Amino acid sequence: MSSRPVIFWFKRDLRVADNPALARVAEVSGGHVLPLFIFEPEYWRLPDTSARQFAFLTETLADLRADLAAQGQPLVLRTGDAVDVLDALVRETGARALFSSEETGNLWTYARDRRVAAWARGRGLAWTELPQAGVKRRLKSRDGWAAARDRFVRQPTVAAPALAPLSGIATGAMPDAASMGLPADPCPDRQPGGRQAALALLGGFLTERGRDYRRQMSTPVEGEWACSRLSPHLALGALSGREAAQATAARQREVRGTREGWAGSLSSFQSRLAWRDHFMQKLEDEPRIETDCLHPAYEGLRPRTPDATRLSAWERAETGIPFVDACMRYLHHTGWLNFRMRSMLVAVASYHLWLDWRATGPHLARLFTDYEPGIHWSQMQMQSGTTGMNTVRIYNPVKQGLDQDPTGVFTRRWVPELAAVPDAHLQSPWTWEGAGSVLDRAYPAPVVDVAEAARHARDAVWGVRRGDAFRATAARIVEKHASRKDGGDRAPRRRRGPGRAKASPDQLSLDL
């Protein structure tokens, strides 16, 4: 090889446009970049990974490979442990440095990066990680964070760099899910991956689908169309958050002063892009959010060994609570669900079924094609009431069904066993006089008494919040993690009575 290349290790930011780290590497190396992606079998054996995520990834990598080839050098694919792969490539190519983007992943990726850093130091190889988003590594204080994030988003996007072709190195083959040890994972209506799909979604959302986004995002019936559906593409970085925010800003300028009804929806979408970075910053600042209750007073509140019958019923969408089961079945089938319904699934599991968030979180992570650890684990805790700084929100799944599926079309589609149940009793079939002909025959009876379970949970969760020691710890959590903008996380207030506390807006903020 005529020139010693620099390795650019793609992990999540799988694009060539607006990729500041890739542009920087191309600049310092004169374009002699070896673009690398590593399929790590150990990662795909984790409890929060799935074949549907893997399939979306490979489609995204196919687009990335083509885009890199158009810039001069195709993507190099390797399979194995990251340290082993990198060491072999350095020996083979004489690579003089390693670059990558900063990644806010799960604890496994954090530990893997520490191993890679130790290997690079031992080899005397410089490894440079560069920021790609509004998330800041080694942040000392949240003061000024939002303004810094907004400044980053407003900076000009970065053009795709030209790369020099490398000779004598095999580009490698794309493995399949079975070779990673992933079990079959049918997801018939999964979104397709790839940057072209992401750009098409963004354009369609900003010019057509997003007009009623603010009004329709909460319902699974309309949210499927009205939400941007960009979340899996943002998770893998086929599209950057900055690209999405700047395209939205351009559209905001176009509709300003018109009566087309876009202004509120576009403003809401911008807010949700900002909240996305906000939640990822939490995990960046405190990786233990994946494993430990943010407020330690909640450790031991729910059994760490879950009730197997209740957990299985929730996972299989056989809780006997129609709207809950409909949402879970829809998620199984599509890999996506609007945010309010995600929150409801977690809340019902946590409060009504009294399951620990660490037992239910991996199942949802596997089902979400758009699994983003920073958002997922922060939200698992928030919707389970274990942060100590967010208002406890116990969703009434019967009321949610009536509010979000008033005609019953969504519930009847995904729970056809209830065809004989009249509309007035669809969301609570146990109240129908003919319930005996359906429940525990075509469809299970509810695994818990919905109202009684909510009362028990409310008393238990709020009971933990009493006392000065709880509030002192909560204040420290707020200082470290709360947004400094109005409408962000707030310290817990004294309870005035059941159901009277107003939920923090950020609990309903991530419908991308």
Q: Return d(Cα 147, Cα 3) in angstroms, integer.
A: 42
> Would you say 269 is a known binding-site residue?
yes
Local structure of 424: helix, strand or coil: helix
CA distances from 52 to 2, 49, 209, 371, 457 (A): 40, 9, 25, 11, 34
Q: Check residue 444 and report its DSSP letter.
A: P
CA distance 345 to 355: 11
User: 201: helix, coil or strand?
Assistant: helix
Cβ neighbours around 1 below 10 Å, total: 14
Helix or strand run (H / E) with residue 36: strand 33-39
CA 333 remoteness from chain centre: 18
Cα separation, 453 vs 319, whole angstroms = 13
User: Which residues are paired to 79 by β-bridges?
Assistant: 39
Q: Give the H or E element holding residue 7.
A: strand 6-10
Q: 196 with 104: CB under 8 angstroms?
A: no
Is residue 376 within 8 Å of 361, Cβ to Cβ?
yes
**78 strand-pairing partners:** 38
What is the end-to-end Cα distance of the chain in Å, rounded?
A: 45
**Quick check: helix, strand or coil at residue 399?**
helix
In Å, how far are 129, 347, 395, 423, 492 from 34, measured between CA atoms? 16, 46, 50, 60, 50
* Tokens linked to 418: 């209830």
Pairing of strands 33-39, 6-10: parallel
Task: Report residue 215 CA to chain centroid gap.
Answer: 22
Helix or strand run (H / E) with residue 87: helix 82-93
**Whole-angstrom Cα distance, residue 165 to residue 168?**
10
Alpha-carbon gap, residue 275 to 506, rounded angstroms: 7
Q: Tokens 């986004």 correspond to what residue?
A: 213
Known binding-site residue numbers: 213, 269
Known binding-site residue numbers for FAD: 213, 269
